[in-house]
Structure 1
Amino acid sequence: MDRFIESLLLGYPVPGIFLVKQSSDNRMLVLDGQQRLITLQSFYEGLHAGREFRLTNVGDDFQGLTYKTLDEAQRFQLDDSFLQATILQTDGSPQVDEAIYQIFERLNSGGTQLTAHEIRVALYSGPLVDFIEQLNQTDAWRDLFGKASARIRDHELILRTVALYLDADKYSKPLKGFLNGFSKENRTNPPRVQAAGLLFKRACDLILREAGPSAFKNTHTNQLNIAQVEAILVATMRRLETDPEIRELSDKVANIMAHQGFINATTRFTADVDAVAERLRIAHEIMDS
């Protein structure tokens, strides 16, 4: 952050930013350059992370300066700095959305590397993302998953579960593309997604009550296998459509986790169409038995 401000004070060229103009509401989303913009905002306000933003990792001429202590020439240099912005216009088509997603991935080479889902949340922000976050805060889910993921992997797992519950018959590789398409199609959080969300909450409540907070965890590593959790939740949600109280649920979850075919489909090539179909089939058959 210090070096970026120093570059502007020295009049050096700096990388531009990329913005996406949303076709639905004309909002500008920051595709690349968020850290640069936040750095500028923080320096002008004089605060970063609750402390005074004072330049330290810079040359002697700028050591210890804040925006308020810049002399007139330095302040003019900073205020008159040029930051180029490239604006990408979306038309709502899948082809353009996929192109923007790929541009984001290619630009995402410096600073903190974003995960596929972090990019997805940025590009498809709206009611669906907010609804998934509400589900992510429910008590039973937090007990089953554990502490919140700093990289929102828990949020992504819920999206995967809801998407496969509703559209498993449409699944195709890559998983990233499937989830992007689902997020775009259901961005407004339609009633079918809301209904699936209620089933997700009921499934978590029931699994926690009957099988306990360690229901999904490997007995040897105490870790969660995302593909296993997703399949068991989908199978439980499907069973709850017709059976509000699933008998012997704890045994069924254990039997699913121990099934060799299920293990194979959740530990190797887990995004393959056949692997996804196989683990969902096995989990559903055991849950329905």
Structure 2
Amino acid sequence: MADDDADRVDSAVEDEALTPEEVEDIASAEPEAEPVTYTGTDFDVEGLVRRLERGDIAIPTFGHGDDSLEVAGFQRGFVWRRPQMDRFIESLLMGYPIPGIMFVQQVDRRYLVLDGQQRLRTLGAFYQGVHAGREFTLENVADEFKGLSYRTLTPEQRRQLDNTFIQATIVKTDGTNESLEAIYQVFERLNSGGTQLTPHEIRIALYPGQLVDFLEELNRLPAWRNLYGTRSLRLRDQELILRIIALYYSSSAYFRPQKKFLNEFLGAHRNLQGLDQGKISTLFASCSDLLIEGPGRNALRYQSSQVNAALTEALYVGLMRRLDSGGSPSVDDVTSAVQAFTANKEAAVTISGSTATEEYVRKRLEMATREFSQI
């Protein structure tokens, strides 16, 4: 199988469901529970679409800060496929029950979509009559609805759709970190069914800003892309870069659950405060160049065609420490160090199975650092 084909297969597989590591991370209890203020209300479908069109309901762009939004950058890209979109509209036309949606009410009274992006965007596209540059007509539905657009619905069908009520939970925030942490915990408990968000996708709700933008900048580096492969729709590649940076700076402070460690690191350095952006960029780019030129894309994979996050963070942190100490190791030396690390049975234990324990994280970073220090 060609590399491009393998990348497409990997991407399709990894974007469907949570990985075992992500499931474990989500299931890990927070050390403290945060209170939250919320209300419940119902919106008719036509009213929701109208609010979307005039901007009273906002779907923030995932991963990028917006000073006007207290919870910016939360949502990932639109990921529903046409069959899911069609069947959602069909459910409304049939009067079937559907899941509720969740908003965050800002100080300016706008509603930010915390949960329900796919449903709301589907409604917006159907009412506009266009999706992905093509006319939006129902296809993957019962025969009585096939070929229908919003414009061609019968008056009775249109009233059924327009007047259907969708339950909404509205969580209030004042923009403080404590308030955002409460929203994180609420959403995490409701994050089930359908296409669950990963811990990193939820994390972006807390602390968007310059660090998240910087992560995306590193995520676009050609050498890193060649190593990792196809971009992850679930932003696992971006989260992996965050893990590398957090462990490079704060490995001695690492603790479980990993989600909390990464949340706190992102919060503490939200706008790159305390981080040397130039240094990180140089070290990360140099590591990527050495790894792709030496051991190649297989360096980040262990007994699988998919990227091994524990292995990747260990190699990057160890090699970044080596480069930061001075000198320029050769590509051959880097290749030898990578091979020695992955061949070590003790190291193998720390990059398979439950990899997020304090013991395994500390051990694999120490072993990778030791291997690279010898070149």
For the superposition of Structure 1 and Structure 2, which TM-score range results when normalised by the shorter chain? 0.7 to 0.9
Partner of 2:296 in structure 1?
A: 212
List per-residue Cα deviations over 1:102-129 (Å, max 9, x = no partner): 3223323232222222222354433322
Relative distance call for 1:4 and 1:204 in structure 2 (3 A) is closer
Name the CA shift for 1:142/1:13 in 2 (closer, same or farther; >3 Å).
Answer: closer
CA contact (8 A) 1:21 1:88 kept: yes
Q: Which digits, 9 at most, give the CA deviation of each residue in 1:34-75, with x for residues without a partner?
A: 121011101111022443222352573x55331222345554
Q: Distance in 2 between matches of 1:249 and 1:55?
A: 55
Deviations 1:166-222 (A, max 9, x none): 11122110111111222222222336162323321121112223433433334x545
- Residue 100 (structure 1) aligned to one of 183, 199, 220: 183
The partner residue of 1:186 within 269, 279, 286 is 269
CA deviation profile, 1:138-188 (whole Å, cap 9, x unmatched):
111122222323332222211110111111122110111111222222222
The answer to whether the 8 Å contact 1:207/1:215 transfers is yes
Q: Is the 8 A contact 2:219 2:225 kept in 1?
A: yes
| 2:5 corresponds to 1:5 | no
Compared with structure 1, are the counterparts of its residues 17 and 212 closer, same or farther at alpha carbon in structure 2 (3 Å cutoff)? closer
- 236-245 or 114-123, which moves further after superposition? 114-123
CA RMSD for the aligned pairs?
2.9
Match of 2:340, SS state, is helix
2:249 aligned with 1:249: no
Q: Distance in 1 between matches of 2:309 and 2:114?
A: 28
Determine if the alignment matches structure 1 residue 285 to structure 2 residue 370: yes
| 2:223 aligned residue (140, 143, 149) | 140
CA distance, structure 1, for counterparts of residue 339 and residue 231 of structure 2? 25
**In 2, Cα distance between equivalents of 1:223 and 1:66:** 41
Q: 1:64 to 1:253 in 2, by over 3 A?
A: closer
Change (3 A) 1:70 1:90: same
Secondary structure of the structure 2 residue equivalent to 1:19: strand
Question: 1:145, 1:63 → 2: CA distance?
Answer: 41
Does structure 1 conserve the Cα–Cα contact (< 8 Å) formed by 2:102 and 2:114? yes
**What are the superposed Cα offsets for residues 75-113 of structure 1, whole Å, 9 maximum, x if unpaired?**
455445444432212345555434322322332323222
Match of 1:200 in 2: 284
CA 1:265–1:2: 2 relative to 1, 3 Å: closer
Judge conservation of contact 2:181–2:206 (CA < 8 Å) in 1. Answer: no
Question: Are the counterparts in 2 of residues 162 and 193 from structure 1 also a CA contact under 8 Å?
Answer: no
- After TM superposition, the structure 1 stretch with the greater mean CA deviation from structure 2, 84-93 or 35-44, is 84-93
d(CA) in 1 for partners of 2:300, 2:93: 54
Once the two structures are superposed, the pairs formed by residues 206-245 of structure 1 within 5 Å of their partners are: 206-218=290-302, 221-245=304-328
Write the distance in 1 (CA, Å) between the matches of 2:268 and 2:288.
25
The whole-number CA distance in structure 1 between the counterparts of 2:334 and 2:223 is 16
Give the aligned partner of residue 19 of structure 1. 103
- The one-letter code matched in structure 1 to 2:311 is Q
Matched, 1:167 2:167: no
Once the 2 structures are TM-superposed, how far is the Cα of residue 273 of structure 1 from its aligned partner? 0.8
SS of 2:300's equivalent in the other structure is coil
| Structure 1 pair 54–179 and aligned structure 2 pair: CA distance change class (3 A) | same
Equivalent of 2:259, from 176, 194, 208? 176
- Conserved? CA contact 1:5–1:40, under 8 Å: yes
Q: For structure 2, which runs of at least 5 residues remain unmatched after alignment?
A: 1-84
Task: Note if 1:270 corresponds to 2:355.
Answer: yes
C-alpha contact (below 8 Å) 1:162/1:197 kept by paired residues: no
TM-score, with length taken from structure 2? 0.67
Mapped partners of 1:143, 1:4: distance in 2:
37
Q: Which residue of 1 aligns with 2:233?
A: 150
* C-alpha deviation, 1:243, in angstroms: 1.4
| Identity over aligned pairs, percent | 49
**Which residue is equivalent to 1:52?**
135
Q: Which runs of 5+ in 1 are unaligned?
A: none
TM-score by length of 1: 0.84
Moved more, 35-44 or 82-91: 82-91
